[in-house]
Amino acid sequence: MLVLAIDTSTPDLIVGIVDASTGTTRAQRIIEDTREHNEQLTPMVKAALADADLTFADLGAVVVGCGPGPFTGLRVGMVSGAAFGDALGIPVHGVCSLDAIAHGIDFSSTPRALVATDARRREIYWATYDNGTRTAGPEVIAPGHLELPHEVDVISIPAHLGEKLPEALEGVDKLSLTPLPAHLVAVADLTATPGPLVPMYLRRPDAKEPKAKPRSAAIPEVEL
């Protein structure tokens, strides 16, 4: 089965077509560090299909990274994935984006890992893994305040945030991985009936409702 994989949980926009039966990536498009997920996602999906010499009709499922991630970018990927699935009449599966990143780690030599992504506001989203199984998180915190439940052998974190981790983690090997399409599909249970997509925001959206302004005393009350 051919699967459309989408992730917008990080500053990168990630789209790919994956053959779920073999785990092979048929096509993959990544735009690094973009704030234009909404404008670029659909053209990238079309371009990936063209790269693989496929059409929307060839797809059998959609897999979407549900974060954790910032509100706006995460919503773009999830809404788009749900729209593609609805239009094509195919299932849409949501997965934890940190789980997909962890799937790219070689746990045979580094069994315990910390996976972190940029949460902005000088914070990170993080989770820990033991041989590929999540053991803590996902949570959000300032990197310097991170206290892990156990030691780790390797850390995947954006390069500019690695130096902000606690001193105890300075000597741990560091990678900078992303939720690639093949790994998004690998952590999805495509045999299960998918439920509603649930975003992992972990904190309130940046946008806030404006506070009600007090009525001026100069405005008389009107009885109805």
The verdict on 80 and 110 lying in the same domain is no
The verdict on 159 and 74 lying in the same domain is no
Domain presence at residue 86: yes
Domain presence at residue 110: yes
Q: Is the dihedral of CA 34, 37, 38, 43 positive or negative?
A: positive
Confidence of residue 220 (pLDDT cuts 50, 70, 90): low
Domain presence at residue 149: yes
Phi/psi of residue 175, nearest 5 degrees: -120, 170
The string of pLDDT tens digits covering residues 27-48 is: 999 999 887 777 899 999 999 9
The string of pLDDT tens digits covering residues 143-169 is: 999 999 889 999 999 999 999 999 999
CA pair distance 154, 169, nearest whole angstrom: 9
- pTM here is 0.88
Domain presence at residue 61: yes
Neighbours of 195 (CB within 10 A): 9
Owning domain of residue 133:
105-175
Instruction: Give mean pLDDT, residues 194-209.
Output: 75
Residue 8 has pLDDT above 60, yes or no: yes
| Position 107, amino acid | F
The verdict on 88 and 109 lying in the same domain is no
Environment class of 107 (CB within 10 Å of its CB; exposed 0-12, middle 13-18, buried 19+): middle
Domain presence at residue 122: yes
The verdict on 24 and 110 lying in the same domain is no
Domain count, the chain: 2
Minimal CA–CA distance to 50: which of 34, 30, 26? 26
Domain presence at residue 93: yes
